[in-house]
Amino acid sequence: MKLEYSGQEKVQAEADKVWRFIQDPQKVASCLPDLKSVEIKDEKNMVATVGVAVGPVRGTFKFNIELEPRPEENKVLVRLRGGGLGSVVDLTASAVVTDQGDQTTLLDWQGQATVSGPAASLGGRVLDAQAKKLIQTVFANMSQRMSEA
């Protein structure tokens, strides 16, 4: 099953603060909902274990996450691959980081994911609703933490 999403998040922080945040894997990982553990491999790679509940499918998923900040392009790329309970998730996402000139930054993001296994068999609407909720929560958490830092 293929899923595609896009959206915007206005962050109450200047762009340089946003860049410092998204270049820190520990800070980015802290924005994942139901984070159980994270192992930072290097400045761009981490392994995160998260609790997942999609309809009747509940359990722990493990993801390899790669962050690739590209400040020279005003863009950050994210690759996520992993899964659990027989399901596999492969996600590629990016966000364009735009300084708004008023101490706020706009993140224009988009992503595509492929899901297979029991999670995909739940049907489009259930999986779609959960994926949207997860993405919105991650960006809301990031926005809140960046504005506090």
Average pLDDT, the chain: 87
Measured CA to CA, the distance from residue 45 to residue 79 in angstroms comes to 10
Spell out the domains of the chain, with CATH numbers in brackets: 2-148 (3.30.530.20)
pTM: 0.85
- Mean pLDDT over 123-138 rounds to 73
Measured CA to CA, the distance from residue 13 to residue 103 in angstroms comes to 5
Tens of pLDDT, residues 98-126: 999 999 999 999 988 888 887 777 666 66
Tens of pLDDT, residues 46-86: 999 998 776 676 789 899 999 999 999 999 999 999 988 88
Q: Say what the pLDDT of residue 149 is.
A: 65
Identify which has the larger pLDDT, 73 or 131.
73
Question: Can you spell out the DSSP letters for the chain?
Answer: -EEEEEEEEEESS-HHHHHHHHT-HHHHHTTSTTEEEEEE-SSSEEEEEEEEEETTEEEEEEEEEEEEEEGGGTEEEEEEEEEETTEEEEEEEEEEEEE-SSS-EEEEEEEEEEEESTTGGG-HHHHHHHHHHHHHHHHHHHHHHHHH-
N residues, the chain: 149
- Mean pLDDT over 20-26 rounds to 91
